[in-house]
Structure 1
Amino acid sequence: MSIIIVDDNATNQIIIKAILNKAGYEDLKIASSAMELYSILDLESNSIAESNVDLILMDMMMPEIDGLEACKRVLQTERYKDVPIIFVTALGDSNKMAEALDAGASDYVMKPINKMELLARIRSSLRLKQEMDWHKERDKQVKFKLELAKKVQRNVLSQPIHDDNVDISAIYQPSTELAGDFYSWYRIDDNRYGVILLDMMGHGISSSLVCMYISSVLKDTITRITEPDLVMQELNRYMNQLYKKEELLNYYFTAIYLVLDTKARTIQYVNAGHPPGKLIIGDQVTLLTEGCCAIGLFENIKIDKASLSYLDEMKIILYTDGLSESLGENEEAKLDTLINQLVGQAPGEHAATVREFVTEQSSEDQKDDICMVMIATK
């Protein structure tokens, strides 16, 4: 344990050092003023290194800079903000003691020093410091694992498709480290593509884990079953496997899943409680609303599959509610304005357009994940 004794009186330094040495504390440093303390701590540097001190014993009354000012200055430095400071003082003024605690001190001991009291308060402060250090280390590990999980989550998202038949791409702006929105697409055969966009209930770790669970079965489900209503039934079965009667909450997601056949020029889809996607052919806009309730809410659900056809080039735009909610009032009109801008652009320009549009329309921080999938036939 590294302890710094700050006192302008040499006798007090000797007494405190002797008490601590006898109690087994050997890593001790002495400072006769606040400026010497600043020098030991190297406060003037911009170092981001971890704190190299576990406790500071501080005299209240010192020349030039008193203990209160020194305490505030030390605790304002990021790497020392959690270091416990115990005032050792002859002042019996309760107002001064309250001021010391308000300044961030963890405790105080009155002079003349009672050895047992001093050691007890030191042990108490050091236990708290160890507890805080443990939590800080644990937070670091959690942050590292969250970063790893975020990378894994991003890596399982589908990459854009730009081939002779179709362009499929997505815009993804998660609101937190781990998101509940997920999209994926697979080429079923030479002419058919299965595309899904889903929005998992909630945010953060639990939603992300359920997304990863669904992503692990998507490829097999989409390429093996293909039919939108049967795919949704299968995903509902998987979601119900997570349900436990003793839990008050069961997981669910909204989604749009569609199968695009570029040869037959047909679109078969199911909308499971999701914001309606938009099929755009020339100036005509068709909302993709047919389907069922959210997936995972009930063990058995009735699913209606819808079919559409097109002759000329068409575009489909799917989005999660995080996008529309981020636009504030008159969200439908604003969403139409955004979509009109996107329809005339190349896929590589879409992300910047969405970011700029959302930033212009919203005065608040992003509260929900924003995700949009765009499909265009050739």
Structure 2
Amino acid sequence: MRILIVDDNPTNVIIIREILKKENYRNFVTASSAKEMLKLLGIGTEEQGKRPSHIDIDLILLDMMMPEMDGIEACRIVQQHEHLRDIPIIMVTAVGDSKKLAEALDAGASDYVTKPINKVELMARIRLALRLKREKDWHNERDQRIKDELRLAALVQNAVLSLPITDQNFEVHAIYQPSFELAGDLYAWYPLGDGRYAVILLDMMGHGISSSLFCMFLASVLKDTVTTYVEPEKVIQELNRRFNQLYIEKQLVQYYFTAIYMVIDTRLSRIDYVNAGHPPGLFFQGEAKEPVLLESNCHPVGLFDRIDIQPQSLSFSEDGHLVLYTDGLMEMAEGGQEEQLKFMVSHLNGSHEWQEEPMREAFFQEQPAMERDDDKCLVWISLKKGTV
């Protein structure tokens, strides 16, 4: 533990040093002014890129009354630097003015002792401050480990998402922005051969670690489920069965997910789909500005042991594009579902070609993760009507 003693009076510094030595605290450094203290802490060197990567100070004993810059002002400056805020500052003062002491505490000081210094009181306050500092350091280190693990988990989760496909008559792209490090949305697509493609977008209830774990389970069974069962009704039935196998005893929250799954046949110009409680897909064909809605035709997956499904089909005779999305995009618009759909259509009814930048500008403006209310995901499928 290293203690920084800041006082313009050499006698006071000597007294504090001797008290610390007798209590076996021998790792300390001194400064004769607030400005010297700030220099030791690396404040004022950031502009030259010389800020220390680690500040080896665990406690500051700071005289309140000093020339040029007093302890209260120095304390305020220290608090402006995030990497220094966790260093406890004990004010050492001869001032008995309660307003001044309150001002010091408001400026960021954690405690104070009065002059003449009482050895028992000083050491009690130092031990308390250092104990709190150790606890805070432990929590900070644990939080950093958790953040590092979450970042790694996010990379793993991102790695299971499908890459774009750009075939002659079929293209599929996606943009994804999780609300936090981990997310509850998942998309995937699989070529089935003979010009057929399976595409799924699902949105797990909630977001965060629990939802992301459920998503990773679904990602692990998706490919096998899709390639084995293929047809929309059978795939959703199987996902419902698999998901319900995740029995959690005394589960307080009923987890479920919405999904839209489809098989696109570019040879027959046909789309077979099931929408399990998901926001409606939007299919724009030819020059039409109003889309065909691929609306929900069954309840979300995982709510019940059995799920009644009526698969739907539609055909296309011209080039077009199909957009799937999660409700995080719809919620960007105020009002009910009708107003939200108008908002979506107004941004999606242009060219059938994939244009990533306009989509990012419309729906994925950068914002801090903690301010994101929900995961946002958009899947864009371009369909070309032609001879395969």
The TM-score, its normalising length taken from structure 2, stands at 0.89
Partner of 2:135: 131
Equivalent residue, structure 2, for 1:335 = 344
Secondary structure of 2:341 counterpart: helix
Opposite residue 336 of structure 1, the aligned amino acid is V
User: In terms of mean alpha carbon deviation, does 66-75 or 322-331 score higher?
Assistant: 322-331
1:165-314 counterparts in 2 under 5 A? 165-282=169-286, 283=288, 285-314=291-320
| Aligned counterparts of 1:48 and 1:251: Cα–Cα separation in 2 | 47
Given the alignment, which residue of 334, 342, 353 partners 1:346? 353
- Quote the residue 2:376 is aligned against: 370
How does the TM-score come out when normalised to structure 1?
Answer: 0.91
User: Is the CA contact 1:243–1:250 (under 8 Å) kept in the aligned structure 2?
Assistant: no
Q: Which runs of 5+ in 2 are unaligned?
A: none
2:37: which partner in 1? 37
Q: d(CA) in 2 for partners of 1:67 and 1:189? A: 75
SS in 1 for 2:349: helix
- Whole-angstrom CA distance in 1 between matches of 2:255 and 2:280: 21
Question: How big is the shift at 1:79?
Answer: 2.2
Of 95-104 and 280-289, the range deviating more from structure 2:
280-289
Distance, in Å, in 2 between the alignment partners of 1:217 and 1:309 is 29
1:73 corresponding residue in structure 2: 77
8 A Cα contact 1:149 1:178, kept in partner: yes
**Is the contact made by 1:239 and 1:251 (CA closer than 8 Å) also made in structure 2?**
no
Q: Note if 1:316 corresponds to 2:322.
A: yes
Change (3 A) 1:249 1:368: same
> SS state of the match for residue 202, structure 2?
strand
Distance 1:86 1:305 in 2: 70
Alpha-carbon contact 1:267-1:309 (below 8 Å) kept? yes
1:51 equivalenced with 2:44 (yes/no): no
Deviation at 1:281, TM superposition (A): 3.2
Gaps of 5+ in 1: none
1:255 Cα deviation from its structure 2 partner: 0.7
Separation in structure 1 between the aligned mates of residue 64 and residue 169 of structure 2, nearest angstrom = 78
How far, CA to CA, are the matches of 1:76 and 1:212 in structure 2?
A: 41
Distance in 2 of aligned mates of 1:227 and 1:10: 85
Q: Give the superposition deviation at 1:117.
A: 1.6
Q: CA deviation digits over 1:241-267, x for unaligned, max 9? A: 234341220211111001112233332
1:149 is matched with: 153
CA distance in 2, matches of 1:17, 1:108: 17
2:302 and 2:324 mapped to 1: Cα distance?
A: 21
SS of aligned partner of 1:292: coil
Match of 2:26 in 1: 26
SS of residue in 1 equivalent to 2:333 = coil
